[in-house]
Amino acid sequence: MIDIMDATLVTAIDNSVALRIGGLLIHTKWHELILRAERLTLIRGDGQDLGIAGLLKMGGAYWEAFEQQRTGVSSAEPGGDSNEKSP
């Protein structure tokens, strides 16, 4: 098992892609994996096309939720993403 610590996705004008993943293998040794492809098709579990933009949006939402959980901030609290006003 690899614990992913860093990942970079790069696209080119011709729609080719490269993905570099770095992480710790069995919590001890750093490894990097580089994948290159002429194209990348991303499909959600329900069969709907995701695309790179959708993948990046999902990643952003994941890290936002992670940070909110880590800091104990919910979207209904001041400073959260809620449109509710504090009294």
- Taking only the tens place, the pLDDT of each residue in 15-44 is 899 999 999 988 889 999 999 999 888 898
Domain count, the chain: 2
- Confidence (pLDDT) at 76: 53
Does residue 35 sit in the same domain as residue 51?
A: no
- Confidence (pLDDT) at 82: 46
- Confidence (pLDDT) at 84: 45
Does residue 7 sit in the same domain as residue 33?
A: yes
**Domain carrying residue 57:** 41-72
Helix (H, G, I), strand (E, B), or coil: what is residue 26? coil
pLDDT tier for residue 71 given thresholds of 50, 70 and 90? confident
Does residue 12 sit in the same domain as residue 45?
A: no
Residue 24 neighbours by CB under 8 Å, 6+ apart:
2, 3, 5, 30, 31
What is d(CA 23, CA 7) in angstroms, rounded to the nearest whole number? 9
